[in-house]
Amino acid sequence: MTQSQEAPIRIGHLYGNLLNTYGDNGNLLMLQYLLKKRGLNYQTEVNSLEETLSKDQYDFILFGGGQDFEQSVVAKNLPSKALALKEYIESDGVLLAICGGFQLLGDYYITAAGQKIQGASLLNHYTERQDNHRFIGDITIHNDEFNEDYVGYENHNGMTFIKEPVKSLGKVISGNGNNGQDGTEGARYKNVFCSYFHGPLLVRNPHLADHLIDLVLKRRQEQA
């Protein structure tokens, strides 16, 4: 079969009707554009509060960010999907989490108002808050794995601290990153990529989107 005739790549937009702050849906549009450019078929669906999730349901998952209210709603529903997400992640499923999605994959995050929101504890990180301050502005980081830079825009009150075996997505060249202290930005674990970048991330960094697609295709081949 030619690539265009193969089974479509299944894309799941996790809580996509609730978490799409700062146009994070643009990450999905960029991924779809590059898949089409490669002659690859795809199908996309929103998986939200009413839908179930299984570990083999998708080839790629986007977990975006939202305001604190929407994220608190998602946090209450997330335990129903946590086991499937854990199995998906541990089996090298490709997942991109932005801002709130990044925070919710960790142990917990503290909102700007001081409320503690429990995360899914799927990645080893946690998020504290800043008092009357946000990290806002352009940011550039360097990713050692691919030896390339990523540019974006950050706007977050949270201060995220990652711990082993989680690695950062990149080292901060300019900007604040996860917490403004340790020079890290985002997170990387297996085929999970997390970032505070809005912009959106993949639109401004299509080379990263290409890496995600390569990982999706590699995993599909290994599972065939």
* CATH number for the domain that contains residue 91: 3.40.50.880
Residues 6+ apart with CB under 8 A from 182: 161
The residue among 96, 12, 119 whose CA lies nearest residue 56 is 12
pLDDT of residue 20: 84
Could you count the other beta carbons within 10 Å of the beta carbon of residue 88?
Answer: 25
Alpha-carbon gap, residue 104 to 114, rounded angstroms: 16
Give pLDDT tens digits for 93-135: 999 999 999 999 999 999 988 999 999 999 999 999 999 899 9
* Domain total of the chain: 1
As given in the structure block, the two tokens for residue 140 are 């550039």
pLDDT of residue 22: 77
pLDDT of residue 3: 47
Q: What is the mean pLDDT of each run of 10 residues along the chain (224 residues)?
A: 69 94 89 97 97 97 91 95 98 97 96 92 97 95 97 95 98 98 98 94 97 97 89
pLDDT of residue 199: 82
3-state SS of the chain is CCHHHCCCEEEEEECCCCCCHHHCHHHHHHHHHHHHHCCCCEEEEEECCCCCCCCCCCCEEEECCCCHHHHHHHHHHCHHHHHHHHHHHHCCCEEEEECHHHHHHCCEEECCCCCEEECCCCCCEEEECCCCCCEEEEEEEEECCCCEEEEEEEEECCEEEECCCCECCEEEEECCCCCCCCCEECEEECCEEEECCECCHHHHCHHHHHHHHHHHHHHHHHHC
Its domain, for residue 12, covers: 3-223
Tell me which residues are annotated as active site: 99, 198
pLDDT of residue 147: 98
pLDDT of residue 1: 41
pTM of the model: 0.95
